[in-house]
Amino acid sequence: MIFSFDLLFEAVLFGILLGCFYAAVSIGLSVSFGLLDVPHVAHPALMVFGSYCTYIVASYGLDPILAGVVLMPAFFVLGVLIYRFYYEAFERRGSEAAVRGLAFFFGLAFIIEVGLILTFGVDQRTVEARYIGSSLALGEYRIPYRMLVAFGVALVLTAGLTLYLSKTFIGRAIKAVAQDEPALRLMGANPVRIKQWAFGIATGVSALAGAMLIIVGPVEPALDRLYIGRTFCVVVLAGLGSMTGTLAAGLILGIAESIVLMMLGASWAPAVAFGLLLLVLGVRPQGLFGR
């Protein structure tokens, strides 16, 4: 175990970049699970699906980030369809929906993962871009450009979504439906359409998150399993329904993982998210800023 302040600083720096990335990939879940209460364990799988779609679109020569943006409308529609189906099949019927809803999304995640294996095989896929492969030199520290790109996109995405939810009419309607659905109904708004729209946005965002994922590193179909830990860790640590909390929680996870990576190596780093998740659930399940 090598320890020096230099290494620690580099780990923290990397952790901040990583953390913003984690926040960005979790923000879709913050909406679908945190606000809408959908047991969306297929969120990471959809994101990995987004990565593969980015891979395909990018192979036509498009920059991966642009590819992600281009995919967003299609994923929005996909999200609307998934929510609609979920609502008709489960939420509407109430009662035992809990087990069935969870099982449904779990089945969906499995189908996506296996579908990807059958289509692309188990090998890792990467994309290419000018900013992947080289690093920015800041004094003694080297920061990979791809992390900076992901960091930038992550900030824009997180800020954008947070503003959308607090400033626009639909955004505030989404927050309202999360807090008090009956009241919203009384005001004449249709909560189902609002939730549908919100879920669509969450899924659309996942497309861009998927693009960032494949920029930051190679992807493989089973990656969604690891990201279940990371995204749920961030969302639970943030506190359900808190968008700003997502950024804070992402940073905490990113820095923690980065430090563990530095001190204990790559075989321990994946367990950080899951360990942190269990810790939060055991000690303070409402998270940092939960309602």
Partner 1 sequence: MKFWIPTLLLAAAAFGLALSGVNEYFFYAAYMVLTFVVLATAWNILGGYAGYVNFGTPAFFGIGAYAATVLFKWLDAPLAVQIAGAALMGGLLGFGVGIMTLRLRGIFFAIATVAVIFIMETLMINWRYVGGATGLQLLRPEPMAPFESYTRMLFVVMAWMVLASVAVARYVQDSWIGRGLRALRDSEEAAEASGVPTLRLKLVACVIMGALMAAAGAPMPMYLSFIEPASTFNLSYTIGALGGAIIGGMSHWLGPIVGALLLGSLQQIVTVTISSEVNVLIVGVLLVVFVVVAPEGILGLVRKWLPFSR
Closest distance to partner 1 from the beta carbon of 33 (Å): 8
Rank residues 208 and 272 by Cβ distance to partner 1 and give the closer one: 272
Phi, psi dihedral angles at 144 (to 5 degrees): -60, 135
Contacts 24+ apart (CB under 8 A), 176-185: 177/35, 177/36, 178/34, 178/35, 178/36, 178/37, 178/241, 179/241, 179/291
Closest distance to partner 1 from the beta carbon of 105 (Å): 9
Q: Which residues form the interface with partner 1 (CB under 8 A)?
A: 33, 39, 41, 89, 95-96, 98-100, 102-104, 106-108, 110-111, 114-115, 117-118, 225-226, 228-229, 232, 236, 267-268, 270-271, 274-275, 277-278, 281-282, 285
Rank residues 75 and 86 by Cβ distance to partner 1 and give the closer one: 86
* Backbone region of residue 219 per phi and psi (left: phi > 0; alpha: psi in -120 to 50; beta: other values): beta
Closest distance to partner 1 from the beta carbon of 288 (Å): 16
Closest distance to partner 1 from the beta carbon of 277 (Å): 5
Rank residues 145 and 274 by Cβ distance to partner 1 and give the closer one: 274
Rank residues 210 and 229 by Cβ distance to partner 1 and give the closer one: 229
Rank residues 89 and 136 by Cβ distance to partner 1 and give the closer one: 89
3-state secondary structure the chain: CCCCHHHHHHHHHHHHHHHHHHHHHHHHHHHHHHHCCCCCCCHHHHHHHHHHHHHHHHCCCCCHHHHHHHHHHHHHHHHHHHHHHHHHHCHHHCCCHHHHHHHHHHHHHHHHHHHHHHHHCCCCECCCCCCCCCEEEECCEEEEHHHHHHHHHHHHHHHHHHHHHHHCHHHHHHHHHHHCHHHHHHCCCCHHHHHHHHHHHHHHHHHHHHHHHHHHCCECCCHHHHHHHHHHHHHHHHCCCCHHHHHHHHHHHHHHHHHHHHHHCCCCHHHHHHHHHHHHHHHCCCCCCCC
Length in residues, the chain: 291
Rank residues 17 and 80 by Cβ distance to partner 1 and give the closer one: 80
Closest distance to partner 1 from the beta carbon of 129 (Å): 30
Rank residues 111 and 183 by Cβ distance to partner 1 and give the closer one: 111
Rank residues 7 and 114 by Cβ distance to partner 1 and give the closer one: 114
